Protein backbone atom coordinates (compact mmCIF):
# COMPACT_ATOMS: atom_id res chain seq x y z
CA UNK A 1 0.00 0.00 0.00
CA UNK A 2 1.42 3.43 -0.91
CA UNK A 3 2.52 5.64 2.00
CA UNK A 4 -0.07 8.31 1.07
CA UNK A 5 -2.90 5.78 1.25
CA UNK A 6 -1.66 4.51 4.62
CA UNK A 7 -1.58 8.08 5.97
CA UNK A 8 -5.13 8.72 4.72
CA UNK A 9 -6.39 5.61 6.53
CA UNK A 10 -4.60 6.55 9.77
CA UNK A 11 -5.92 10.13 9.57
CA UNK A 12 -9.49 8.87 9.05
CA UNK A 13 -9.24 6.52 12.03
CA UNK A 14 -7.86 9.26 14.28
CA UNK A 15 -10.41 11.89 13.26
CA UNK A 16 -12.91 12.93 15.88
CA UNK A 17 -15.96 10.67 16.03
CA UNK A 18 -18.33 13.47 17.03
CA UNK A 19 -17.06 15.80 14.27
CA UNK A 20 -17.87 13.01 11.82
CA UNK A 21 -21.38 12.76 13.30
CA UNK A 22 -21.81 16.54 12.90
CA UNK A 23 -20.84 16.19 9.21
CA UNK A 24 -23.25 13.22 8.85
CA UNK A 25 -20.44 10.83 7.92
CA UNK A 26 -21.54 8.54 10.75
CA UNK A 27 -25.23 8.01 11.50
CA UNK A 28 -26.74 9.06 14.82
CA UNK A 29 -30.24 9.38 16.23
CA UNK A 30 -30.36 13.18 16.26
CA UNK A 31 -33.02 14.77 18.45
CA UNK A 32 -32.00 18.44 18.11
CA UNK A 33 -29.78 20.57 15.94
CA UNK A 34 -29.11 24.28 15.68
CA UNK A 35 -26.22 26.37 14.37
CA UNK A 36 -24.02 25.66 17.39
CA UNK A 37 -25.16 22.37 18.90
CA UNK A 38 -26.17 18.83 18.11
CA UNK A 39 -28.04 16.47 20.45
CA UNK A 40 -28.25 12.75 19.79
CA UNK A 41 -28.96 9.48 21.59
CA UNK A 42 -26.02 7.74 23.24
CA UNK A 43 -25.36 4.34 21.65
CA UNK A 44 -24.60 2.80 25.07
CA UNK A 45 -27.26 4.40 27.28
CA UNK A 46 -26.72 4.43 31.03
CA UNK A 47 -30.29 5.56 31.76
CA UNK A 48 -33.68 5.37 30.01
CA UNK A 49 -32.95 8.87 28.69
CA UNK A 50 -29.31 9.30 27.74
CA UNK A 51 -28.55 12.03 25.23
CA UNK A 52 -25.28 13.65 24.25
CA UNK A 53 -25.21 17.43 23.86
CA UNK A 54 -22.20 18.53 21.80
CA UNK A 55 -20.92 21.72 20.22
CA UNK A 56 -20.57 21.59 16.45
CA UNK A 57 -17.26 23.38 16.95
CA UNK A 58 -14.55 20.93 17.92
CA UNK A 59 -13.37 21.40 21.49
CA UNK A 60 -11.36 18.48 22.83
CA UNK A 61 -12.69 18.87 26.36
CA UNK A 62 -14.16 21.39 28.75
CA UNK A 63 -10.66 22.45 29.80
CA UNK A 64 -9.79 23.08 26.14
CA UNK A 65 -12.41 25.84 26.05
CA UNK A 66 -11.43 29.49 26.41
CA UNK A 67 -13.14 32.63 27.62
CA UNK A 68 -14.21 33.11 24.00
CA UNK A 69 -16.28 29.90 24.28
CA UNK A 70 -18.34 31.10 27.25
CA UNK A 71 -21.47 31.84 25.18
CA UNK A 72 -21.20 28.47 23.45
CA UNK A 73 -20.87 26.66 26.78
CA UNK A 74 -23.93 28.47 28.14
CA UNK A 75 -25.83 27.66 24.95
CA UNK A 76 -25.09 23.94 25.35
CA UNK A 77 -26.51 23.97 28.87
CA UNK A 78 -29.61 25.87 27.74
CA UNK A 79 -30.10 23.36 24.91
CA UNK A 80 -29.99 20.56 27.49
CA UNK A 81 -32.72 22.36 29.47
CA UNK A 82 -34.87 22.89 26.36
CA UNK A 83 -34.58 19.21 25.47
CA UNK A 84 -35.45 18.16 29.03
CA UNK A 85 -38.48 20.47 29.01
CA UNK A 86 -39.62 19.25 25.60
CA UNK A 87 -39.76 15.62 26.78
CA UNK A 88 -41.25 16.64 30.14
CA UNK A 89 -38.36 15.57 32.36
CA UNK A 90 -38.98 16.81 35.89
CA UNK A 91 -35.42 15.98 36.94
CA UNK A 92 -32.25 15.07 35.10
CA UNK A 93 -28.48 14.97 35.44
CA UNK A 94 -26.18 16.89 33.12
CA UNK A 95 -22.53 15.87 33.35
CA UNK A 96 -19.32 16.22 31.40
CA UNK A 97 -16.15 14.24 31.88
CA UNK A 98 -12.84 16.04 31.40
CA UNK A 99 -9.92 13.79 30.47
CA UNK A 100 -9.39 10.05 30.34
CA UNK A 101 -9.02 9.77 34.13
CA UNK A 102 -12.52 11.21 34.55
CA UNK A 103 -14.01 8.82 32.00
CA UNK A 104 -13.94 10.96 28.84
CA UNK A 105 -13.88 8.45 26.01
CA UNK A 106 -14.29 10.78 23.00
CA UNK A 107 -11.99 13.78 22.73
CA UNK A 108 -14.77 16.23 21.87
CA UNK A 109 -16.58 18.16 24.58
CA UNK A 110 -19.93 16.58 25.31
CA UNK A 111 -22.53 16.68 28.03
CA UNK A 112 -24.48 13.59 29.06
CA UNK A 113 -28.16 14.32 29.71
CA UNK A 114 -29.36 11.45 31.89
CA UNK A 115 -32.85 10.83 33.28
CA UNK A 116 -35.48 8.21 33.93
CA UNK A 117 -33.90 6.37 36.83
CA UNK A 118 -32.72 7.25 40.34
CA UNK A 119 -29.31 8.93 40.32
CA UNK A 120 -26.98 8.14 43.19
CA UNK A 121 -24.36 10.37 44.77
CA UNK A 122 -21.45 10.45 44.41
CA UNK A 123 -21.86 9.64 40.73
CA UNK A 124 -18.56 7.84 40.07
Catalytic positions are: 110
> For the chain, what is the total number of helices (H) and then of strands (E)?
3, 5
Nearest to 116 by CA among 58, 23, 49: 49
Give, for 52, the enclosing helix (H) or strand (E).
Answer: strand 49-55
Cβ-based neighbours of 64, under 8 Å, separated by 6 or more: 109
Distances in whole angstroms, Cα of residue 19 to Cα of each of 45, 49, 95, 104, 120: 20, 23, 20, 16, 32
Amino acid sequence: MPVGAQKAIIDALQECLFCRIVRREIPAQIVHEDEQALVFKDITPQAPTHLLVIPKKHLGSLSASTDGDALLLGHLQRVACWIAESVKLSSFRLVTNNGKGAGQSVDHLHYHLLAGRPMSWPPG
